[in-house]
Amino acid sequence: MNKSYLYRPMLYFVLTFLITFVLWFAGAYVSFQEGNEGLYMLFMLPGLMAPFIISVAMIFTSKNTDIKKDFVNRLIHFNLVQPKMIPVFILLMPLSVLVSICLSFPMGGSVLQFQYAEGFSFSAGSVPVLLVLLLAATFEELGWRGYAFDSLQSRYTYFTAAIVFSILWSFWHFPLLFVKDSYQYEILHQNIWFAVNFFVSIIPMGVIISWVCIKNGKSVLAAILFHFIINISQEMLAISQTTKCIETVVLMVVAFCIVMMDKKLFFSKKHFNRHKKLLSNNKNYVAQSKRHVTQQG
C-alpha cells in the first residue's frame, strides 16, 4: 500500500459495478435472442475486464509515481512469491475439494465424484471455457489486487478489508444469474439454494485469496495463479452441487484457521493510520477552502 496516496474506494467500486452491470445485463439480454446468442460475449468480456481497466485508469491518472511503480512491480516480479507458499497455491483448493467429497459420503454423496468431469459445467458461446477461466482469474485479480483491495486496506484492518472486499466481489457476480448457459444461470435453475451457496462461497474464498496475496508481497501474479487453480479445482472433478455446499463450509473453516493463525497480520492497524491522517488533513483543507470562499463572497 502506498501511504502517500489518498485512495478513492467509493469511486472505484461505483464505477466498477456500474460499468460491469450495464455490460453484463446487456449480455444477458442478447444471450436469449434467437440467432444472436454467440454475440453476448461481446458484452461479457468487456464487463469482465472492467475492474482491471478502472484500476489502471485510477492508478495512472493518480499523478503518483510510487503507486504506478508499485502496481507494475507487483505485476511483473514473480520473485515476490514466497517459496514456502507454493504448496499452498497448489494444494489448498484441490485438498478442500477432496475433503468435501469425503464429507459428502454420509449424506449420500457418490464415490464417482472422484472421477474427472466429462466436460465443463457451463458454456461460454464460441469462447473456450478454459480460456474464460484463465481470463476471469487474470482480469479480476488485475483489478481487485491492482487497486480495489489496496483502497480498502488503506482505511481498515486487513480483516475488515478482506471481508468487505469479499462481499462486494460476491455481489459483483450477480448479473451472471441472468446470462443464459452461464454457470450461475445453470445452478440457479437446478436449485435456488445452489445459487445462494455460490455467492456465500465467494466470501471465505475472497479472504483466502487476500491472505495469499498479502503473504506474497501483494504479488498480483500470485493472486492470478491461485485464482486460476481455484477455478480449475472447481471444474476438474465430477463433484455435485451438494458437495459444493459442503465445500463452502470447509472453506469457511480454512479461512477461520488462517485468520486465527495470522491474527497479528489481520488485525494490525499500523498500515492505515497514516492514511487516516491524510484523509483528516484533506477534509480540513476542503473545509478551510470553503470557509475562505464564503468569506471572499
Residues 13-41 have pLDDT tens digits of: 999 999 999 999 999 999 998 877 678 88
Residue 278 has pLDDT above 90, yes or no: no
Q: Please calculate the CA angle 52-90-133 and round it to the nearest 5 degrees.
A: 40
- Grid coordinates representing 291 are 470557509
Q: How far apart are CA 209 and CA 215, in angstroms?
A: 10
Q: What is the pLDDT of residues 170-193, one digit of tens each?
A: 999 999 999 998 899 999 999 999
Active-site annotation holds for 140: yes
Instruction: Quickly state the pLDDT bin for 201 (edges 50, 70, 90).
Output: very high
Residue 271: the pLDDT is 61
pTM metric for this prediction? 0.85
Can you give the pLDDT at residue 75? 84
Q: Which of 104-108, 224-228, 273-277, 293-297 has the lowest mean pLDDT?
A: 293-297
pLDDT tier for residue 124 given thresholds of 50, 70 and 90: low
As a whole number, mean pLDDT of residues 62-74 equals: 84
Among 244-248, 262-266, 276-280, the least confident range: 276-280
Question: What pLDDT score was predicted for residue 241?
Answer: 94
Cα distance between residue 159 and residue 156, in whole Å: 8
User: Is 227 in the active site?
Assistant: no
The phi and psi torsions of 119 (rounded to 5 degrees) equal: -165, 180
Output the pLDDT for position 279: 45
- Residue 73 — pLDDT band, cuts 50, 70, 90? confident
Cβ proximity of 228 and 137 under 8 Å: yes
**Secondary structure element (H or E) that encloses residue 32, with its range:** none
**Cell numbers of 220, please?**
498480483
pLDDT grade, residue 126 (50/70/90)? low
Per-residue pLDDT band at 200 (split at 50, 70, 90): very high
**Is 281 or 109 the better-scoring residue by pLDDT?**
109
Mean pLDDT of 125-139: 78
Answer yes or no: is pLDDT of 293 > 80: no
Residue-level pLDDT at 37: 65
Output the pLDDT for position 286: 39
Mean pLDDT for all residues in the chain: 85
122 confidence band (pLDDT: 50, 70, 90): low
How much is the average pLDDT of 208-231? 91
What would you report as the CA-atom Rg of the chain, rounded to the nearest whole angstrom?
21
Cα 109 to its chain centre, rounded Å, is 29
Catalytic residue among 118, 141, 173, 247: 173
From the candidates 34, 77, 140, 275, which is the catalytic residue?
A: 140
